[in-house]
Amino acid sequence: MSEQADLAGRHVLVTGGCSGIGLAIVAALKAAGAGVAVFDRTIPDEFASTHPDVISIKGDVTDPARVRDGFGEAAAALGGLNCVVVNAGVSQNRPTLDLSFEDWRRVMSVNLDGAFLSCHEAGRLMAETGGGCIVLTASMYGLVAAPERLGYCVSKSGVVMMTKALAIEWASLGIRVNAIAPGYVLTPFVEDLVEQGRLDLPKLEKRTPMGRLIQPEEVADAACFLMSDRARAITGHIVAIDGGWSAYGYI
């Protein structure tokens, strides 16, 4: 964790915080001095045992009632919510002609509806207490298109526009809204796909101008910066953390 973010005294809820990028953000928040709660569909036993100082709340971001109650539980346990990281999401990689309507609705439900419900509840709580900060996890595939990822690209581009629309609407309420847009991040999930032969690591590294995949901690550092006072004048921005992938239009 870099020294760029001081989040001592902040109360932060992270959706999808028990694995991957979310887990890295939780670790970075704790290192920066924040009080942290996670809201996730599954709370592994090992998470609770290795993170005893993190409030664990089980819930599905596609369930409006559970989002409302779970966010309320987090606020009560932490003593309020200054920041919410809207991170819960699912990936999808399938030829569009093989994509069923049920598959399409699943990715939209989690990535887009879940983001709306999370932002809506976070915004309501923050408006009542004088403001705060929301950071959404978009994707570089919300900024640039890719084949066989229609639902994922459309849902994440929706997160990008949601970020901008909420930022300008809620600025007067003292609520900043930004998003991070990770590229290929070397999480256990991605490492497993590489081992299965479903991702070509050398090809991905060659396509990335920096010549490597992104580390989860690098994404977490950017998220923490956006939640810090150093970003107090930043709202409505999408920060690509992709090693230059989305900027590189030549293949």
Through-space distance between the first and last CA atoms of the chain, rounded to whole angstroms? 33
- Is the torsion defined by CA of 183, 113, 57, 81 positive or negative? positive
Single-letter code of the amino acid located at 144: V
Domains of the chain: 11-239 (3.40.50.720)
Catalytic residue among 141, 152, 184, 248, which? 152
- Residue pLDDT tens, the chain, 251 long: 445 578 999 999 999 999 999 999 999 999 999 999 999 999 999 998 999 999 999 999 999 999 999 999 999 999 999 999 999 999 999 999 999 999 999 999 999 999 999 999 999 999 999 999 999 999 999 999 999 999 999 999 999 999 999 999 999 999 999 999 999 999 988 998 899 988 899 999 999 999 999 999 999 999 999 999 999 999 999 999 999 999 998 76
152 catalytic per annotation: yes
Contact assessment for residue 6 and residue 225, using Cβ atoms and an 8 Å cutoff: no
Q: How many residues does the chain have?
A: 251
